[in-house]
Structure 1
Amino acid sequence: MSISDKSYHEKRDFIRMKIDAPLEATLTGDMGTYSGACTELSGGGMQVLLDTALVEGSEWEVNITSEHGHSPQLRAIVKIVRVEEKTDAGYPTGFQITEVIN
């Protein structure tokens, strides 16, 4: 099956991976730090669950670590592209990765 045979919602540049990793998000400019969980990760973005609804369009630095001490960790600058209504687990939030930090 070629990509043109797939339905529209599956036409992505990167495959999404389901994960469960702790996330720390710091607002660019040191305006605050929030913790949550990264639930999906791809080469272009991620979905996270946060306790606080953040502002769409704002930029953040995120750090994803492994609870098992695995390396490498992921540090990146992201832009918030979507904030969904709160669920029991938190606010599902879509981040677009704009830069990976070494």
Structure 2
Amino acid sequence: MGINDKPYSEKRDFIRMKIGAPLNAKLAASSDIIEGLCLDLSGGGLQVETKKSLEVGTEAEVEVSSDHGHSPTLKAKTRVARVTTNEAGGYVIGLEILQILP
């Protein structure tokens, strides 16, 4: 079944998993570190909440921490795909995963 054959609510290639874990993002163009909260994660990307906006197309290496004391849950090279604001005055950023890092 192709993506166009799926019902509208099922058009994603990957299911999103809500995680609510701390996130650090190191911007590729500078050494700036952005802190935030990873709201959900899928096979193709993640959605994060931050206090700072990023431009679409910005690349960053992200590290999502585990709430259970494990070493980082995820390290990945990402690209900003979209940015919206939330009611609290923060930003919700959609990040596309370009590469999983060791």
**TM-score band, normalised by shorter chain:** 0.7 to 0.9
Change (3 A) 1:89 1:66: farther
**Which residue in 2 is equivalent to 1:94?**
94
Deviations 1:40-71 (A, max 9, x none): 10000000000001111010000001122135
**Which residue in 2 is equivalent to 1:6?**
7
Indicate conservation of the 8 Å contact 1:65/1:73, yes or no.
yes
Unaligned ranges ≥5, structure 2: none
Q: CA RMSD in A?
A: 1.9
Unaligned ranges ≥5, structure 1: none
**Which residue in 1 is equivalent to 2:36?**
36
Give the letter aligned to residue 46 of structure 1: L
**What TM-score comes out, normalization by structure 1 length?**
0.87
Runs of at least 4 residues off by over 3 Å? none
Mapping of 1:1-102 within 5 angstroms? 4-7=5-8, 9-71=9-71, 73-88=73-88, 90-102=90-102
**What TM-score comes out, normalization by structure 2 length?**
0.87
Question: Identity over the aligned pairs, expressed in percent?
Answer: 44
Structure-2 separation of matches of 1:5 and 1:73: 31
The 3-state SS of whatever aligns with 1:15 is coil
Structure-2 separation of matches of 1:5 and 1:52: 35
Structure-2 separation of matches of 1:26 and 1:97: 14
